[in-house]
Structure formats: structure tokens, C-alpha cells
Amino acid sequence: MSDEEHQFESKADAGASKTYPQLSRLHGHAKCHFFAIDIFNGKKLEDIVPSSHNCDVRHVNRTDYQLIDISEDGFVSLLTENGNTKDDLRLPTNESLLNQIKDGFADGKDLVVIVMSAMGEEQICALKDIGPKN
């Protein structure tokens, strides 16, 4: 073997060090953007979740009840499908809906209130006028 030093000059560039996976490095995983409106207070909700993850979705139920009476303290008496009464709901805080319920009841109309329930909370969210009382 000789004692000569060999020097190699590389003129080829594979470019591997100048590239990177742009999508995963800069932007992360694909994401799902969720928008919702809180049914109880009307606030806009927003969440961003990676598409590879699960997310919890709340069960929301809608029930129609016939309005029987409005008490002076703001509670309503409602007739359920099986003929029992439900007396634990307050009138809604939405002024427009509140006025529609009070005015319709004062005029003697048959009213059906739509109640939305989720996560242990219930609230009157809408109203249907089914005609004058017989």
C-alpha cells in the first residue's frame, strides 16, 4: 500500500439534504375543522381535531310537548306523550320566543314547544302553533 493520500471531489449532489416532507413537517396531520352553535346559549363553538383521532359527539334529543300552563314564577307545565305532566322547565330567555309563547298562550292557542336536551340540560328552543283551543 502506498502512503499517498487520495482526495475525492464529489460533484454530484443527490439533493436529499435539501428536501423534507413539507406536508407533515409544516402542516402536521390532516385536520378536521368543526363548527357548532351551542343550543342553549347560542355561542359559536369551534374545534380542530386531527383526522386520525376520535372526537366525542354529544347526544342531542328533541322532544315536543303540548303547553298546558305558564306559572307566575316562569315555569311551564307541559303535557308529555304518555299523558303525564312535566313541570320542571323554565320559559326561554330568548325575548322573541318568550313573547311568542306568552302571547299565544294569552290568545288561547294550542301551542307545542320544542325542547332540546343535551348533557343533562333542557331548554325550550322553538314553538309550534297548532291552532285555537277547542
Q: Contact, 25 vs 38, CB < 8 A?
A: no
Task: Give 16-36 pLDDT, tens digit per residue.
Answer: 444 434 444 445 567 887 888
Spatial strand order of the sheet with 75-79 comes to 85-90, 75-79, 60-70, 109-118, 121-132
- State the pTM of this model: 0.64
Q: Grid coordinates standing for 64?
A: 315536543
Which grid cell is 88?
Answer: 320542571
Is the Cβ–Cβ distance between 70 and 102 less than 8 Å?
A: yes
**Same-domain status, 42 and 64:** no
Residue type for position 134: N
Tell me the range of 2-6, 40-44, 105-109 where mean pLDDT is highest: 105-109
**28 and 75 together in one domain:** no
pLDDT digits 0-9 by tens, 54-79: 777 778 899 999 999 999 999 999 99
Give the domain extent around 86.
60-132
The more confident residue out of 50 and 114 is 114
**Cell numbers that stand for 128 in this block:** 309550534
CATH code of the domain containing 68: 2.40.50.140
- pLDDT of 54: 74
Average pLDDT, the chain: 79
Domain count, the chain: 2
What residues form DSSP beta bridges with 76? 70, 89
Q: What is the structure's pLDDT at 58?
A: 75
